[in-house]
Each structure stands twice: as C-alpha cells, then as structure tokens.
C-alpha cells in the first residue's frame, strides 16, 4: 500500500509513523505493519490486511493519503508562488508526478476572486509542505469542503507538518501551545 507521505523530510519519520500505524493495526487486529519507501521517497506499507488498514487510515485523516491512481489525488505543495503552485504526488508505482498550477485559478476554484490569491491560499491553510487534494488540476471537492470549513470558522489554524499523530498530541498537550488554543 502506497501513501502520499514523503519520508525524506525527517530521518525518524518512518519509524514514528510505523509505531502509530502498528498501534492502529493492533487495535483492529489487522496484523503487523512494515514500512519502506520508494526510490522517490514515498511511504510504502506492507500490511497483512490491506483493505482494513486502508479503511483505518482513511478514518484517521482529513485528506486520504492512500494512493489509488484515481482522483482525488493527495498531493504535497512544494512551492506556493504569486503566479504558480507546484505540487507533487505519487503514481501507483511510486514515481513522483510533478504539476504546476496557476495560483489564481486554484484560488478561484475555492471561491476566491480577489487580487491576492497567494495570501488567500495561505490563510486557508494551503501552504508549502502541506497536503492538498486535487482532481483535474483543481482543488477536489474534499479540499473545497475543508477550505470552506476553515473559512467559516474564522479562526486561525495551527498546521503541524511532518509529524506523526502521537507527536501532534504531545505538542498540543504542552502548556505553551494550550495557552494559544481557543475552546470551541
């Protein structure tokens, strides 16, 4: 099973994610999880019950990272510029597909028609290093729904990139971060 997660961002990310996935697999009696990476650095899982593990991962994430070869594609934003957004995502064979999209068109697909699409995208959590969901070289319906949700809440967001869920929980539990979080 291939995930749209690059393991070249940190040396220990593969092991930290494997531990988290192994916990999930044990809770669901899905067997053992082994992590490897493709030549391009994408995360490759070897699991005993792939359909079950795929469902578990989908339930744990907002944008499904399991690579299916069909849209919507989970993609990583490599560069967010004034004119263009560069993204990458894995093919089902683990090769990296690079795309360059117009920043204004991407923002317009999310409902923004103003003068500064880059600032809009950044405010909506679409940043370099973040994951997005695309279909037909535009934001997918999933991405549209998530962006709408962010904007309607009107709150600032804290994006933690290149971290496993247990690391995010630990960071959010720290008093320094808790002091910054508003209660809903």
Cβ-contact 31, 21 below 8 angstroms: no
Q: Buried b / exposed e across 113-141, counting CB within 10 Å, b at 16+?
A: eeeebbebbebbbbeeebbbbbbeebbbe
Tens digit of pLDDT for each residue in 84-97? Answer: 999 999 999 999 99
pLDDT band at residue 160 under the 50/70/90 scheme: confident
pLDDT bucket at 106, cuts 50 / 70 / 90: very high
Q: Which pLDDT value is given to residue 183?
A: 65
Give pLDDT, residue 184: 54
pLDDT in tens, 44-81: 989 888 888 889 888 888 788 889 888 999 999 999 99
Please tell me the predicted confidence (pLDDT) of residue 166.
Answer: 83
> What is the rounded average pLDDT for all residues in the chain?
86
Q: In the structure encoding, which two tokens stand for residue 103, read together?
A: 């920043």
pLDDT at 149: 80
Domain ranges of the chain: 2-60, 73-153
Q: In this structure, is the dihedral angle defined by the CA atoms of residues 4, 5, 9 and 11, taken in order, positive or negative?
A: negative
pLDDT-based confidence at 40, cuts 50/70/90?
A: very high
- What mean pLDDT do residues 21-28 have? 86
pLDDT at 130 over 80: yes
Which tens digits make up the pLDDT trace of 131-159?
899 998 888 888 888 888 877 777 666 77
């Amino acid at each position: 099973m291939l995930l749209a997660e690059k393991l070249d961002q940190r040396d220990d990310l593969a092991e930290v994610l494997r531990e988290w996935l192994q916990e999930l697999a044990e809770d669901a009696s899905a067997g053992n999880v082994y992590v490897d990476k493709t030549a391009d650095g994408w995360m490759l899982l070897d699991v005993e019950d792939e359909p079950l593990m795929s469902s578990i991962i989908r339930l744990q994430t907002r944008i499904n990272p399991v690579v299916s070869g069909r849209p919507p594609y989970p993609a990583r934003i490599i560069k967010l510029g004034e004119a263009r957004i560069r993204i990458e995502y894995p093919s089902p064979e683990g090769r990296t597909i690079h795309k360059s999209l117009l920043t204004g068109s991407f923002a317009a697909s999310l409902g923004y028609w103003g003068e500064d699409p880059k600032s809009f995208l950044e405010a909506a959590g679409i940043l370099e290093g973040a994951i997005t969901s695309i279909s037909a070289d535009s934001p997918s319906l999933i991405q549209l729904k998530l962006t709408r949700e962010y904007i309607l809440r009107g709150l600032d967001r804290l994006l933690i990139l290149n971290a496993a869920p247990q690391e995010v929980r630990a960071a959010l539990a720290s008093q320094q971060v808790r002091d910054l979080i508003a209660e809903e």
